[in-house]
Amino acid sequence: MNQRRRPTQSDVAKAARVSQATVSLVLSGSPHPRTRVSDESRQRVLDAAEQLGYAPNALAQGMVRGRSRVMGVFTYEPVFPRDGSNFYHPFLVGMEAAAEQIAVDLLLFTSAPLVGKRRRLVDTGWNRVQIADGCVLIGRLGDADEVATLSEQRYPFVHIGRREGSQQLPIPHVGADYVAATAAVVERLHGLGHRRIAFLGDLGGAVSALDRLNGYRTAIERHGMRPIMLDAAAFSPGETIEVLTTNGATAVLLSTVTISPQELADAATHAGRTVPTDLSIAVLGESEVSPAIDRRWSGFTIPRVEMGEAALRLLDQIVRGDTDLPHEQLLPCATVPGTTVATVS
């Protein structure tokens, strides 16, 4: 009965007594078409479209234009995990803001089932990905092969988080400048009189961990200090404090998911050292696993909202075919004054 299908350009054309092509020209033609339509025809088309409630089929437009004005967001883990942790939220805040400005919709690839703990992009999600003009990739579990495949296929994408590619196939990404931010923390501590500053981190090999380590080393060496690097995985909080004391450290930079700042502070207290009077603690950004770090911890925060925004903007430029774009965009981290660093006593 009322189950009428949506009107198409042909319907409008019939009503306006023009050709379907003319309708297309009037309703969704380029602003500077090579062919013009008489004002009379144009008006008839406009009226008919209005009257029929015509709206273009975005799928058909997307197909012929090769663009859909949809940007994909692929996360290797669930975007909205059930456990209430909320790692991706800030990125999405930024992406939504940017999406509104560049007028694109965001497609979350929720159809790719989790295999093990992560989603497979290329296998299952591959043909789905192409619904979008490009894709933002987020997550720690990113697979190098998958990313390489995207590159090879010249599919436009931007990775959130620093990521090394190859000379021929660089990986466009938006990251945080951990090197500078970590160096700045060292500078700050040095300015407060600290001369024995330790680094407690996951010395495994993640890019983001290495960046922090590099920033630490550079700044330490610049001031002729001796680096004290501890692998968080090797010690319990109590042992860590012991080692710090043995090394005469008056400050420690924390870059690990193994020990929380609170655990470390508790261990210090337990050992009779007061934070920050006897030991300054600085946190090098929220960890990805437990993003919520209280603002009272001194250190820096990762500019996630800005990273989300920048990633979508960069992706948009890539999709538009802008060439000569930098493959790397590093955003500055914001210093957190906090209350856990102080002048050396």
Query: How many Å apart are CA 190 and CA 136, to the nearest integer?
Result: 39
Which CB sits closer to DNA, 59 or 289? 59
Binding segment (CB under 8 A) for a second copy, from list 48-56, 192-200, 231-239, 273-281: 48-56
Residue 48 beta carbon to DNA: minimum distance, rounded to whole angstroms? 12
53 binds, among a second copy, DNA, none (CB under 5 to 8 A by kind): a second copy
Give me Rg for the CA atoms of the chain: 27
Q: Is 284 helix (H, G, I), strand (E, B) or coil?
A: strand
114 binds a second copy (CB under 8 A): yes
**Subset of residues 118 to 137 that bind a second copy, contact rule: CB under 8 A:** 126-128, 130-131
CB of 195 to a second copy, least distance (A): 39
Choose between 92 and 219: whose C-beta lies nearer to a second copy.
Answer: 92
The site string for a second copy over 51-80 (x = CB under 8 A, - otherwise) reads --x-xxxxxx-xx----xxx-------xxx
Chosen from a second copy, DNA, none, partner binding at 117 (C-beta under 5 to 8 Å by type): none
Say if residue 214 is exposed, middle or buried (CB neighbours under 10 Å; 0-12, 13-18, 19+). middle
**Angle, helix 207-222 to helix 178-191, in steps of 10 degrees:** 40
3-state secondary structure of 150: helix
- Smallest gap from Cβ 19 to DNA, in A, equals 4
Using CB distances below 5 to 8 A depending on partner kind, what does residue 25 bind out of DNA, a second copy, none? DNA
CB of 92 vs DNA, minimal distance in Å: 30
Q: From the list DNA, a second copy, none, which binds 97 (C-beta under 5 to 8 Å, kind-based)?
A: a second copy
Q: At what angle do helices 9-16 and 20-28 cross, to 10 degrees?
A: 110
Determine how β-strand 280-284 pairs with β-strand 298-301.
Answer: parallel
> Whole-number minimum distance, CB 127 to a second copy, in Å?
4
Q: Give the separation between CA 311 and CA 317, rounded to whole angstroms.
A: 10
Contact window for a second copy (CB under 8 A) among 37-45, 152-160, 230-238, 265-273: 152-160
Q: Footprint of a second copy on residues 281-340 (CB under 8 A)?
A: 305
Nearer to a second copy, 99 or 310 (CB): 99
Give residue for tokens 């003009």.
Answer: 133
Query: Is residue 253 helix, strand or coil?
Result: strand
What one-character DSSP code corresponds to residue 332? P
Q: What CA–CA distances, in Å, run from 157 to 5, 73, 130?
A: 36, 10, 11
Best CA proximity match to 137, nearest among 93, 74, 81, 91: 74
Take residue 229 and report the two structure tokens written for it. 């690097």
Residue 18 is which amino acid? V
The site map against a second copy for 6-45 (x = CB under 8 A) is x---------------------------------------
d(CA 250, CA 177): 25
Residue 325 interacts with which of DNA, a second copy, none, CB < 5 to 8 Å by class: none
Query: Which residues sit at the interface with DNA, rule CB under 7 A?
Result: 5-6, 8-10, 17-22, 24-25, 27-30, 34-38, 40-42, 56-57, 60-61, 63-65
CA 105 to CA 107: how far, in whole Å?
7
Contact positions vs a second copy (CB under 8 A): 2-4, 6, 53, 55-60, 62-63, 68-70, 78-82, 86, 89, 92-93, 95-97, 99-100, 103-114, 126-128, 130-131, 152-154, 305
